[in-house]
Amino acid sequence: MEKIAILTVYYGKLPPYFDLWLRSCEFNETIDFYVVTDNKLCNLPKNVNIIDITLKDFCALAEKKLHKKVRIDTPYKLCDFKPMYGHILEDYLSDYDYWGHCDVDLIFGDLRKFFNLYKINNYDRFLHLGHLSLYKNTSECKEYYKLDGAPCGNWDEVITNPQNFLFDEWNGIFGIYHKHNIPMFEGRIFADISMIYKRFRLALNDKNYDQQVFYWEDGHVYRKYWIEEKSFKEEFIYIHFKKRGFKKQTFDASTTTSFYIGPDGFTEKTKSATLEDVKRINPYYGEKYELKELRRMEWEDKKAWWKKRITKLWERK
Q: Assess whether 144 and 46 both reside in one domain.
A: yes
Q: Assess whether 269 and 297 both reside in one domain.
A: no
Q: Assess whether 196 and 75 both reside in one domain.
A: no
Would you mind telling me the total number of residues written for the chain in this entry? 317
Torsion of CA 156, 157, 161, 167, to 10 degrees: -80
Q: Residue 101 burial (CB < 10 Å; 0-12/13-18/19+)?
A: buried
Per-residue HEC secondary structure of the chain comes to CCCEEEEEECCCCCCCCHHHHHHHHHCCCCCEEEEEECCCCCCCCCCEEEEECCHHHHHHHHHHHHCCCCCCCCHHHHHHHHHHHHHHCHHHCCCCCEEEEECCCEEECCHHHHHHHCCHHHCCEEEEECCEEEEECCCCHHHHHHCCCCCCCCHHHHHHCCCCCCCCCCCCHHHHHHHCCCCEECCCCCEEECCCCCCCCECCCCCCCCEEEEEEECCEEEEEEEECCEEEEEEECEEECCCCCCCCCCCCCCCCCEEEEECCEEEECCCCCCHHHHHHHCCCCCHHHHHHHHHHHHHHHHHHHHHHHHHHHHHHC
- The predicted pLDDT at position 296 comes to 86
Q: Assess whether 127 and 259 both reside in one domain.
A: no
- The predicted pLDDT at position 305 comes to 67
Q: Residue 24 burial (CB < 10 Å; 0-12/13-18/19+)?
A: buried
Whole-angstrom CA distances from 311 to 63, 190, 304, 305 are 32, 37, 11, 10
Q: Assess whether 172 and 34 both reside in one domain.
A: yes
Q: Assess whether 256 and 131 both reside in one domain.
A: no
Q: Assess whether 232 and 259 both reside in one domain.
A: yes
Pairing of strands 98-102, 132-136: antiparallel
Q: Assess whether 174 and 314 both reside in one domain.
A: no
Q: Assess whether 28 and 159 both reside in one domain.
A: yes
Question: Of 282, 235, 238, 242, nearest to 262 (Cα)?
Answer: 282
- What's the domain count of the chain? 3
- The predicted pLDDT at position 294 comes to 86
Q: Assess whether 13 and 141 both reside in one domain.
A: yes
Rounded-to-integer distance, Cα 116 and Cα 112, Å? 6
Question: Of 143, 6, 168, nearest to 81 (Cα)?
Answer: 168
Q: Assess whether 9 and 73 both reside in one domain.
A: yes
> Where is the domain boundary, 133, 152, 185?
185
Structural domain of 223 = 191-284
CATH of the domain at 151: 3.90.550
Pairing of strands 4-9, 258-262: unpaired
Q: What is the pTM of this model?
A: 0.94
What is the full per-residue pLDDT of the chain (317 aa) written as tens digits? 999 999 999 999 999 999 999 999 999 999 999 999 999 999 999 999 999 999 999 999 999 999 999 999 999 999 999 999 999 999 999 999 999 999 999 999 999 999 999 999 999 999 999 999 999 999 999 999 999 999 999 999 999 999 999 999 999 999 999 999 999 999 999 999 999 999 999 999 999 999 999 999 999 999 999 999 999 999 999 999 998 989 999 999 999 999 999 999 999 999 999 999 999 999 999 999 998 888 888 887 766 766 665 555 555 55
Q: Give the type of residue at 244.
A: R
Question: Of 4, 139, 163, nearest to 77 (Cα)?
Answer: 163
- The predicted pLDDT at position 254 comes to 97
Q: Assess whether 18 and 145 both reside in one domain.
A: yes
